[in-house]
Amino acid sequence: MYRFGEFDVARVRRLLAGDVTPEPTRPPGKPPQLCDACSYRQVFGTLHQMQAIVAGDIGCYTLGALAPFEAMDTCVCMGASLGVGLGLRHVLPFEQARRVVSIIGDSTFVHSGISGLVEMVYNPPPGGHVLIILDNSTTAMTGHQEHPGTGRTLEHRATGRVVFEDLARGLGIREVHVVEPRLGSDEFEQVLTRCLNSGELAVIIVRRPCILIAKQLKEYERQAQEAECACVCETPLPAS
Ligand SMILES: Cc1ncc(C[n+]2csc(CCOP(=O)(O)OP(=O)(O)O)c2C)c(N)n1
Ligand code: SF4
């Protein structure tokens, strides 16, 4: 009895009561999915359609592994998308290797993806590689925390920002693209196709705020402008 699954209260009660009758069937659960208007949908739709081999990572976007996209082939731990993707590029036969992409969220990238990008530059696979950074300006999956790529502190006040495109260019990557996914636009598909065919190292930053924080972002921007204004107004004029 119960060789698999979880011991919940109902099961423990049954055990204590010596009840060995078959368990009642549970109602079917609803599989988790990306929000309806999430910009990740376009990205994973394209990856699915292009039959890319996708080394994935951890965040909301891991849901790209599930139907209807089924467009994530590996997910190991935070930051693993780069190491796994590069490994696949090195060992797979050329026809498969050229379809490999790594995909990572903005927060995961600053947490533990940057070292993988350094590795990509230092030990480049012969056919190049493509990294997609999903920059939704937040850490959505764990409750919308800020991170060094948002330019806001954990209290949402303006601070220094790690600019991913500058970082990638600074590391010597020449193919760096920033794309805003929009309904009806095939820009992402075009850029991805070009990068995959180029045989070079490429970074594509897909930038669009998570829809669940879009309103708050406007408020943070307003507060930042107000704070800047107050700072300028309070600066004493130089003595003439
Ligand atoms: C070592 C480790 N620390 C923390 C977590 C919890 N965690 C899950 S996803 C995630 C970050 C997700 O943010 P992002 O990459 O920006 O993706 P988003 O959810 O915004 O799509 C974190 C910190 C984890 N899975 N592993
Ligand atoms: S919370 Fe944001 S990032 Fe996550 S699925 Fe919804 S829209 Fe996409």
- With tokens 């879009």, the residue in question is 214
CB distance 81 to ligand 1 below 6 Å: no
CATH topology of domain 31-230: Rossmann fold (3.40.50)
pLDDT tens string 115-145: 999 999 999 999 999 999 999 999 999 999 9
Structure tokens at 162: 């790690």
The model's confidence at residue 6, banded by pLDDT at 50, 70 and 90, is confident
b (16+ CB within 10 A) / e for 167-194: bbeebebebbbebebeeeeeebbebbee
Average pLDDT over residues 172-180: 98
Position in ligand 1 atom list of the atom nearest CA 105: 15
> Percentage of residues in the chain with pLDDT exceeding 90?
85
The single-letter code of the amino acid at 37 is A
CB distance 140 to ligand 2 below 6 Å: yes
User: Radius of gyration of the chain from Cα atoms?
Assistant: 23
Cα separation, 78 vs 141, in Å, equals: 13
The rounded Å distance from CA 82 to ligand 1 centre is 15
Q: Evaluate if residue 240 carries a pLDDT over 70.
A: no
| Number of alpha helices (DSSP H) and beta strands (DSSP E) in the chain | 9, 5
For the chain, give the mean pLDDT: 95
Closest CA to 192 of 112, 111, 103: 103
| Domain spans in the chain, listed from the N-terminal domain onward | 31-230
Average pLDDT over residues 145-173: 97
The rounded Å distance from CA 22 to ligand 2 centre is 39
pLDDT tens string 208-226: 999 999 999 999 989 888 8
Q: Name the more confident of 7 and 173.
A: 173
Average pLDDT over residues 12-16: 94
**Which amino acid residue places its CA nearest to atom 23 of ligand 1?**
142
Compute the C-alpha angle 192/193/197, nearest 5°: 115
Closest CA to 78 of 114, 54, 43, 47: 114
- Ligand lying nearest the CA atom of residue 38: 2
The model's confidence at residue 114, banded by pLDDT at 50, 70 and 90, is very high
Report the pLDDT value the prediction gives residue 229, as an integer from 0 to 100.
82
